[in-house]
Amino acid sequence: MPRRGSLLPELTIAVAHYQYQDLTRDCIASINTQEIPCTYEKLLVDNGSDIPIDAPPSWRLFRSGSNIGNIGSQNLCFEQAQGEWVLFVANDVRLYDLECIRELWRFKEWWQKGLSIGQIQPMVQTATCQVDQLGMEWRWPGYGISRKRNTSIPAIQIVPSTCFLMKKDTWSRMEGFDEQLQSSHEDVDMGLRLLKKGYTNLLCSEAEVVHLGNATLQHTLSNHRQVFHQARLKVIRKHYRWADYWTRYLAIQLLDHLPRP
């Protein structure tokens, strides 16, 4: 149920919107069908759209004065959130599984048992109901690889930024997502930083979401491949130094230019 009086909600469900209103409305419609087992608020962040979107009933709207980018809009969702926990949902994600939020919320009990949780990710499926992401792995020399197979161990290395649950004060301690990465690899960077600080990222495979696949990014970022490559190198430079960085850099330059089979 929504927050009462001056009491802050336990959970903020946050959606970042930019330009494509049908995408966002469909995302919101799927969230509105969810059974939510805690006090909550629903937050819609308009990232400086040319045609501002209106907030649907029961949703709080915050409008950015300008487009601050994909990563900036994620940070803005956390900045504006009033809940102790934040469920970030990209607007090209659909929560068709009616128990999705309930299952994710159940997983936070690991925190109460003494585990320092960084992020919790649902199982991400494609529009054709194929497994898309069960977390990501950061492989040498610097490739984020989507994990396709489930295991009995819920700990994962990297949580993709499509949909995840995270404690707001954990986000604050990490000083948010790195906006210098522009529109890519912020999830890899956050995952690596969380692991270095002793947090554990978890996969909740009982919760399922559908990801339409960068539906907004494909329309709004014409130089996506260049930004992707530059962000990857920035992450490597940020987390690895000297010989390790240059070894990885040279290996990536070679591998990226090999002919594809």
Q: How far is CA 244 from CA 140, 241, 251, in A?
A: 11, 6, 11
Are 18 and 92 within 8 A, CB to CB? no
Tens digits of per-residue pLDDT, 200-239?
A: 999 999 999 999 975 555 445 557 788 889 999 999 999 9
Q: Which two tokens stand for residue 177?
A: 């997502």
Tens digits of per-residue pLDDT, 80-132?
A: 999 999 999 999 999 999 999 999 999 888 877 788 999 999 999 999 989 99
Are 58 and 2 within 8 A, CB to CB? yes
pLDDT at 258: 77
Supply angle C-alpha 203, 12, 125, rounded to 5: 35
Q: Is the pLDDT of residue 136 over 70?
A: yes
Are 209 and 120 within 8 A, CB to CB? no
